[in-house]
Amino acid sequence: MTTTAATAVTAGTLGVPGARLHYEVRGSGPLVVLVGAPMGADAFAPLAGLLAEDHTVLTTDPRGVGRSPVDDPEQDSTPELRADDLSRLIGHLGAGPAVALGSSGGAVTVLALAQSHPEQVITVVAHEPPLSELVDDRDRLRAGTERIMATYLAEGSAAAWREFMAVGDIVVPEDDAHTAPPPEAERDAQAVADERHFFLHELRGTTRWQPDLAVLRAVPTRVVVGIGEASAGELCDRTSRALAARLGLEPTMFPGSHVGFLEDPAAFATRFRDVVG
């Protein structure tokens, strides 16, 4: 385990079945876990720094992403596997129970964690989980996921990202990085590997995961379904509202879009504090 004094970040590696997880810890106080999929620890660093003023904040690269290598690169990353990883990290720190914020695929991960280890999480904030099986056009979306994967294999990442945005009803500027990435030969090898892992080994299992609604209603863990204020009309707005309705909850609005925690970390942190108390 190593500590960076300038940023007060303690980094470590935890061996888990089939993988070695990179994790980072900031601050002190009640435990908050910030998790994405496929986004790793770096994406949450600005938000983590703000919350670390009065919390112990845990971030991690999920298995198969960034600094968390897996024994079998062809193994699929499922919400259950990622939830087990989080459970092991929380146990390793001995700092729980936690408040867990998951974004996108990470929102699916924290819902799976609440189902399997409710004793470890007081509150889970599932921010825009892409639970396609909960909406009426699930068959179309399943076909869309398969089309994204096939496009990645046949045409590469730029075309796959365009297909991904289309399936997700996300409108992006023409100059967005996902629409025109640099040639693969010029890109960081880890970024290329992470992209391959996402499209071929994470996307399908995450979007097709079906929460156990009866369990989520019964667990002592408080479940919050978050939606970005700027996400209206997008797929994750619909899937989040469907989940909230199935759980008998009102969705909780957060500033920004699907990645509001990146766009304005300070505003997102303020809203997060209000929501979790």
Least confident of 34-48, 166-180, 195-209, 243-257: 166-180
**Residue 111 reports pLDDT greater than 80:** yes
Query: Does 157 lie in the same domain as 49?
Result: no
Structural domain count of the chain: 2
Three-state SS for the chain is CEEECCCCEEEEEEEECCEEEEEEEECCCCEEEEECCCCCHHHHHHHHHHHCCCCEEEEECCCCCCCCCECCCCCCCCHHHHHHHHHHHHHHHCCCCEEEEEECHHHHHHHHHHHHCHHHEEEEEEECCCCHHHCCCHHHHHHHHHHHHHHHHHHCHHHHHHHHHHHCCCCCCCCCCCCCCCCHHHCCHHHHHHHHHHHHHCHHHHHCCCCCHHHHHHCCCEEEEEEECCCCCCHHHHHHHHHHHHHCCCCEEECCCCCHHHHCHHHHHHHHHHHHC
Query: Does 109 lie in the same domain as 9?
Result: yes
**Residue 148 reports pLDDT greater than 80:** yes
Query: Does 45 lie in the same domain as 105?
Result: yes
pLDDT digits (tens, 9 = 90+) for 3-26: 444 458 999 999 999 999 999 999
Query: Does 230 lie in the same domain as 215?
Result: yes
- For residue 183, the model assigns a pLDDT of 58
Query: Does 245 lie in the same domain as 130?
Result: yes
Residue 110 maps to which CATH number? 3.40.50.1820
Task: Count other C-beta atoms under 10 Å from residue 132's C-beta.
Answer: 26
Residues in the chain: 277
Least confident of 1-15, 53-67, 133-147, 186-200: 1-15
Query: Does 259 lie in the same domain as 172?
Result: no
Query: Does 178 lie in the same domain as 58?
Result: no
Query: Does 129 lie in the same domain as 175?
Result: no
- For residue 184, the model assigns a pLDDT of 60
Across the chain, mean pLDDT equals 93
- For residue 173, the model assigns a pLDDT of 56
How far apart (Å, rounded) are the C-alpha atoms in residues 171 and 179? 11
Query: Does 47 lie in the same domain as 151?
Result: no
Do residues 78 and 11 touch, judged by C-beta distance below 8 A? Answer: no
Query: Does 177 lie in the same domain as 229?
Result: no
pLDDT digits (tens, 9 = 90+) for 74-92: 999 999 999 999 999 999 9
pLDDT digits (tens, 9 = 90+) for 164-223: 999 999 876 555 544 445 556 567 899 999 999 999 999 999 999 999 999 999 999 999
Average pLDDT, integer, range 111-127: 98
Q: Which of 201, 225, 243 is the last residue of a domain?
A: 201
Q: What is the pTM of this model?
A: 0.93
* Peptide linkage before 73 cis (omega within 30 of 0): no
Q: Which of 151, 169, 201 is the last residue of a domain?
A: 201
Angle between helices 189-201 and 157-167 (to 10 degrees): 40
Domain residues for 155?
138-201
Query: Does 195 lie in the same domain as 129?
Result: no
Q: Which of 146, 179, 201 is the last residue of a domain?
A: 201
Query: Does 183 lie in the same domain as 225?
Result: no
- For residue 95, the model assigns a pLDDT of 86
- For residue 213, the model assigns a pLDDT of 98
